[in-house]
Structure 1
């Protein structure tokens, strides 16, 4: 997976367990300036102790970086800064953080040089790397995704980061804004007669002169948002247990039938836009019903498909606009 560094009631119960654990519970107000110690339990069950709300924070994955910036926390270190700026324009960086290396292999020396209060990582990193990070500073390790409840996992991670940084009020605003955006988008599509429309979202890459297509099934964050918008998942493939991502090729797209097909690419990476480039003269692609009818929608660059509420808000706006044309 080229750009992904590896990507229900049970989750609700887990959320209660995670947020209730600790010696310091945030009050209704913003706790950023509190001097009290904070104790959290991260997604691995590890207890994380902080002297107070973390201010010097490092993020090793783009989704946690987006959450930090959305909450008003300027991370001092970010993995692959250039990549983040290219792929996540919904929540641009407001400072000039130190580039700590790649998302898959962050530099321990670069992170240590920042003397952070907290490192926010995900289980996309190998356990050995997280063990090394814990020698540098407290690490809040989050489960990057969960196909059983993608939106629940996104908001749970946001809440944990907010507790660690004393930005719980900001988190509540983000969650309310996200729900309002979902409601607005669902109504707009229903009013346009698009409620229940068959919809398939994917990304694709050209590898060794062949197109690889990655379906975002109902277990993906994008798929879960589509469902909330009243769209029907047209994919018949099974996604992985974390990110809800499947695997197919151009021939596999013939099983979709007459659907709306959408994707996100990146102009800075031509291999990520095969649907409007490499496949333009491919007879299988051009014969697909949704291609022939013009129901292929390229959504704007810079919407990180594995991001947080603000990326998903931008996604909702883009899907509604594209489908209503």
Structure 2
């Protein structure tokens, strides 16, 4: 067994910095609250300092972690990070493919393309360990348009709280906050309604790697959501320590023998990646008690970036709990 660094696009932990919005518009306050006039601005406190942005931005560039925010808000951005099909539904991917790409999937930012898009706001999320790198990038972006970056340190609530802050910035805070409240209420409801199943059943969440498999820790992705529900999880995740997952060879599949229910990660279109498919086809996998009992289930949006996605994860977990 060996430990590995987090997969591209996600990190561990929890926490996100808060956002405060203060209207600085001129003119009648009530009128500005109802319909911001052209030229009205909002002051945003970010992890990179204070930024004044349009109160009603019309041309938004969504860099990494901003795409989900504009999609859920129903906003048509003027520039996006190159869409990766596994992160979106077929409909979302088709929609995103119609917008100009201003950041590659490998995270390289195209300043010229952003300038050509003529944005009035640029948004994005930044892994906390990349903060220093993005200080300089933000300074360059600010020459084009007001730029709001929030750091996050987590593949669980920290990431979801960061996108919640971005939703507030683009004027979609009320909907996003309702999703957060719904998540918190449903966690309590599910934890209470299925307390016996959660206590008496051992769960595991896995995904495939090249020639190996990983058991997701309780501090990351769907494992974190299971932990929040109070679910008992396989001892196979314990060697991860503070890392996001524990890694094993195929010969060690029997480390999952204590799991009564196993979830495996899929993309947004409910398809496992080739490495996970290979895991599910292993002979030793077929002999696991959970497999023999028919208690192996796909988990879509395990790596939930927003509270809306996290609520979809809760829906899937609850469906499994109903059958126990």
> How far apart, CA to CA, are the structure 2 residues paired with 1:268 and 1:153?
21
- Return closer, same or farther for 1:64/1:215 CA change in 2, 3 Å cut-off: farther
Three-state SS of the structure 1 residue aligned to 2:238 is coil
> How far apart, CA to CA, are the structure 1 residues paired with 2:108 and 2:49?
22
- Return closer, same or farther for 1:28/1:305 CA change in 2, 3 Å cut-off: farther
**Aligned residue in 2 for 1:66:** 68
TM-score, structure 1 normalization:
0.75
How far did residue 39 of structure 1 move?
1.6
Gaps in structure 2 of 5+ consecutive residues: none
| Structure with a larger share of its residues in helix | 2
- Counterparts of residues 1-325 of structure 1 (less than 5 Å): 4-5=8-9, 7=11, 11=15, 14-15=17-18, 18-19=19-20, 24=24, 33-35=35-37, 36-43=40-47, 45-61=48-64, 63-81=65-83, 83=84, 86-89=86-89, 92=92, 96-103=98-105, 104-124=107-127, 126-127=133-134, 129-146=137-154, 150-155=156-161, 157-190=162-195, 193-195=197-199, 197-205=201-209, 207=210, 210-211=211-212, 213-234=213-234, 235-238=237-240, 244-259=244-259, 260-266=261-267, 272-275=273-276, 277-300=277-300, 303=301, 305-325=303-323
> How far apart, CA to CA, are the structure 1 residues paired with 2:141 and 2:253?
42
Alpha carbons 1:32, 1:167 under 8 Å: kept: no
> How far apart, CA to CA, are the structure 1 residues paired with 2:53 and 2:320?
45
How far did residue 321 of structure 1 move?
1.7
The alignment covers a number of residue pairs equal to 301
Alpha carbons 1:121, 1:142 under 8 Å: kept: yes
> How far apart, CA to CA, are the structure 1 residues paired with 2:202 and 2:114?
45
| Structure with a larger share of its residues in strand | 2
How far did residue 90 of structure 1 move?
10
After TM superposition, the structure 1 stretch with the greater mean CA deviation from structure 2, 92-101 or 289-298, is 92-101
Gaps in structure 1 of 5+ consecutive residues: none
- Return closer, same or farther for 1:281/1:310 CA change in 2, 3 Å cut-off: closer
How far did residue 312 of structure 1 move?
0.9
> How far apart, CA to CA, are the structure 2 residues paired with 1:285 and 1:28?
63
Three-state SS of the structure 2 residue aligned to 1:179 is helix
- Return closer, same or farther for 1:281/1:224 CA change in 2, 3 Å cut-off: closer
- Return closer, same or farther for 1:116/1:107 CA change in 2, 3 Å cut-off: same
> How far apart, CA to CA, are the structure 1 residues paired with 2:251 and 2:228?
29
Three-state SS of the structure 2 residue aligned to 1:47 is strand
> How far apart, CA to CA, are the structure 1 residues paired with 2:139 and 2:289?
50
Q: RMSD between aligned alpha carbons?
A: 3.8
How far did residue 306 of structure 1 move?
3.5
Deviations 1:44-86 (A, max 9, x none): x42222132323212222x4321233234332322123x25x4
Q: Which has the larger radius of gyration?
A: 2
Deviations 1:270-320 (A, max 9, x none): 881444x323553433343333433321234xx261310111111111122
TM-score, structure 2 normalization:
0.75
Alpha carbons 1:30, 1:169 under 8 Å: kept: no
Deviations 1:7-45 (A, max 9, x none): 3xx948x43xx437x6759x99995842432122223x4
- Return closer, same or farther for 1:268/1:122 CA change in 2, 3 Å cut-off: same
> How far apart, CA to CA, are the structure 2 residues paired with 1:31 and 1:197?
51
- Return closer, same or farther for 1:184/1:269 CA change in 2, 3 Å cut-off: closer
